[in-house]
């Protein structure tokens, strides 16, 4: 039997590395992953929705208030569907918003509304990355269960070579796949536990027969 496609939400934020999201989509699609892209308004300055939509074969969402075609709001429908939310590249801004509970766009809302794991691949100038506030935000998010990959040392938009470069695409994709299968195994275990509990409860329930 063919395995069902896994669903990943890819959040693309306003970084010079935004163009690399194209490679991520292509690599994931090769592995039969259904990729839904959420593009922040600022990321739209770096890469077009048309490119991402063409590569992902799914509608790219940028506006939370666009009239939904279904009855249910887009952000909760997508959050329920996701088996992983990957943010690559992740700006200092989105990391700060998540660490401080700010939900003012489709990406931050979906992340707060999902039970899927979240993988964050930061990319930014090294001074931004080393800033105490950014480091504290990352530590806070790690502590509450968010996963991080990178950044690594590499060439940055400012022309220098330092920490802040987006992790290698193959490493991001491998980590995404690892988290996807861990999530699927957890879901399976949860389902089996629920079934076993239902079975146990039904055998313990007193059987009523009709009187008379
Ligand atoms: C040319 C240029 C490159 C930028 N690159 C980055 C970057 O790599 N990482 C980052 O955190 N911010 C970067 N910024 C700043 C973000 O775009 C800005 O903080 C924006 O508000 C992020 O919004 P978003 O997180 O909603 O996408 C860059 C800005 C410009 C003009």
Average pLDDT over residues 89-117: 96
Do residues 12 and 76 lie in contact, with contact meaning Cβ atoms separated by under 8 Å? no
Residue 17's alpha-carbon distances to 13, 45, 166, in angstroms, are 9, 12, 7
Catalytic (active-site) positions: 158
pLDDT per residue as tens digits for the range 109-136:
999 999 999 999 999 999 999 999 999 9
Q: Which pLDDT band, with edges at 50, 70 and 90, does 185 fall under?
A: confident
Q: Is the CB of 15 under 6 A from ligand 1?
A: yes
Confidence check: pLDDT of 165 > 90? yes
Task: Quote the pLDDT of residue 76.
Answer: 80
pLDDT at 27 over 80: yes
Q: How far is the CA of 65 from the centre of ligand 1 (A)?
A: 23
pLDDT of residue 210: 61
Asked if residue 167 lies in contact with residue 149, where contact means CB atoms within 8 angstroms, the answer is yes
Q: According to the model, what pLDDT value does residue 3 have?
A: 67
- CA 175 – ligand 1 centroid, Å: 24
Mean pLDDT of 69-89: 84
The domain spans of the chain are 6-204
pTM: 0.89
Tokens for 212?
């008379």
For residue 212, is pLDDT > 60? no
Give the CATH H-level superfamily of domain 6-204: Flavin prenyltransferase-like (3.40.50.1950)
Q: What is the mean pLDDT of residues 146-170?
A: 95
- Ligand 1 atom nearest residue 17's Cα: 8
* Among 108, 139, 138, 147, CA closest to 11: 108
> Is the CB–ligand 1 distance for residue 95 below 6 Å?
no
Angle, helices 92-99 vs 132-143, to 10°: value is 50
- The answer to whether the CB of 137 is under 6 A from ligand 1 is no
């Amino acid at each position: 039997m063919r395995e069902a496609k896994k669903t990943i939400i890819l959040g693309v934020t306003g970084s010079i590395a935004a163009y690399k999201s194209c490679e991520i989509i292509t690599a994931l699609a090769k592995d039969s992953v259904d990729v839904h892209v959420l593009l922040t308004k600022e990321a739209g300055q770096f890469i077009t929705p048309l490119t991402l939509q063409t590569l992902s074969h799914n509608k790219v969402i940028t506006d939370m208030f666009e009239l939904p075609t279904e009855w249910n709001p887009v952000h909760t429908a997508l959050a329920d569907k996701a088996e992983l939310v990957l943010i690559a590249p992740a700006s200092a801004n989105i990391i700060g918003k998540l660490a401080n509970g700010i939900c003012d766009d489709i990406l931050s809302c979906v992340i707060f509304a999902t039970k899927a794991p979240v993988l964050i691949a930061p990319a930014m100038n090294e001074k931004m990355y080393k800033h105490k506030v950014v480091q504290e935000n990352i530590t806070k998010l790690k502590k509450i269960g968010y996963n991080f990959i990178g950044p690594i040392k590499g060439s940055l938009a400012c022309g220098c070579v330092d920490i802040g470069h987006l992790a290698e695409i193959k490493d991001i994709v491998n980590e995404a796949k690892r988290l996807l299968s861990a999530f699927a195994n957890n879901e399976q275990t949860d389902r089996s536990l629920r079934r076993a509990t239902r079975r146990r409860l039904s055998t313990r329930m007193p059987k009523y027969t009709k009187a008379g």
